[in-house]
């Protein structure tokens, strides 16, 4: 296939992905009430709305979260289908089997990020205001802050599957991951520092599961090579 053919196929796959996102997005609108209730059950503060646009944007944010979550396996499949002609039969079979786990790990990352937010980050921030401020939060600011904390963790949790896929293609090796281990740790701690409040201990606590995830990725990379 020439360049024009590749670009045409890529365009078609992008259209398919966008179409599925719109479908998941519209589906999310039907369950906004349930999603919103789930997210506010673990906080003891009443959220406020100070403008009509916030009501609209909360619907878009909730539906967008559903769309983003649902589109993960679709994006993975479309990428796999695009590169499939360049893969061997074994690589096609193995890499295709990774797609369901991408979705499950994304959900796991969301759950982990939400748990960190509810149990560590949000209580810590509220504790700073005790005796000083009356805390009043708007729906828009709260969910913007919440999703800004949780969604990055969901993408970080995709690391094991990405490592396995790259190892299957021969792009990544466990020896290379061991070689850059200390730099990877440093990057993970920096990311956690950016996502958590300015505290000395909290970024390290949050980074520990991600560092463990990196070590698991190394072992999975070894396993792929020995299959």
Q: What does the alpha-carbon distance between residue 148 and residue 64 come to, in Å, rounded to a whole number? A: 13
C-alpha 210, offset from chain centre: 13
- List the alpha helices (DSSP H) in the chain: 3-30, 32-40, 52-83, 89-97, 99-116, 122-127, 139-156, 159-168, 174-179, 181-195, 202-226
Q: What does the alpha-carbon distance between residue 52 and residue 61 come to, in Å, rounded to a whole number? A: 15
Instruction: Enumerate the β-bridge partners of residue 138.
Output: 48
**pLDDT computed for residue 24 by the predictor:** 95
Q: Tens-digit pLDDT profile for the chain (227 aa)?
A: 667 777 788 888 899 999 999 999 999 999 988 888 888 888 878 888 888 888 888 889 899 999 999 999 999 999 888 888 887 888 788 888 888 989 999 999 999 889 888 888 888 878 877 767 777 888 888 888 888 888 888 888 999 998 988 888 788 899 999 999 999 999 988 888 887 766 667 777 788 888 999 999 999 999 988 87
Q: What does the alpha-carbon distance between residue 27 and residue 24 come to, in Å, rounded to a whole number? A: 5
Q: What does the alpha-carbon distance between residue 65 and residue 67 come to, in Å, rounded to a whole number? A: 5
Total-model pTM: 0.84
């Amino acid at each position: 296939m020439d360049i024009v053919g590749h670009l045409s196929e890529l365009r078609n796959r992008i259209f398919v992905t966008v179409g599925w996102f719109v479908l998941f997005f519209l589906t999310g609108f039907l369950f906004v009430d349930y999603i919103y209730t789930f997210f506010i059950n673990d906080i003891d503060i009443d959220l406020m709305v100070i403008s009509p646009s916030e009501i609209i944007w909360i619907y878009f944010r909730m539906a967008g979260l559903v769309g983003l979550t649902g589109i993960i396996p679709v994006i993975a499949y479309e990428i796999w289908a695009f590169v499939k002609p360049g893969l061997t039969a074994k690589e096609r079979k193995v890499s295709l089997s990774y797609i369901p786990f991408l979705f499950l790990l994304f959900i796991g990352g969301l759950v982990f990020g939400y748990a960190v937010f509810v149990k560590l980050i949000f209580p810590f921030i509220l504790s700073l205001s005790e005796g000083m401020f009356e805390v009043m939060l708007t729906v828009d600011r709260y969910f913007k802050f919440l999703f800004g904390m949780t969604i990055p963790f969901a993408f970080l949790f995709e690391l094991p599957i990405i490592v396995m896929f790259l190892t299957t293609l021969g792009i990544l090796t466990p020896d290379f991951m061991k070689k850059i281990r200390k730099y990877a740790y440093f990057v993970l701690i920096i990311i956690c520092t950016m996502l958590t409040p300015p505290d000395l201990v909290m970024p390290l606590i949050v980074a520990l599961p991600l560092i463990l995830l990196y070590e698991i990725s190394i072992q999975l990379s070894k396993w792929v090579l020995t299959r």
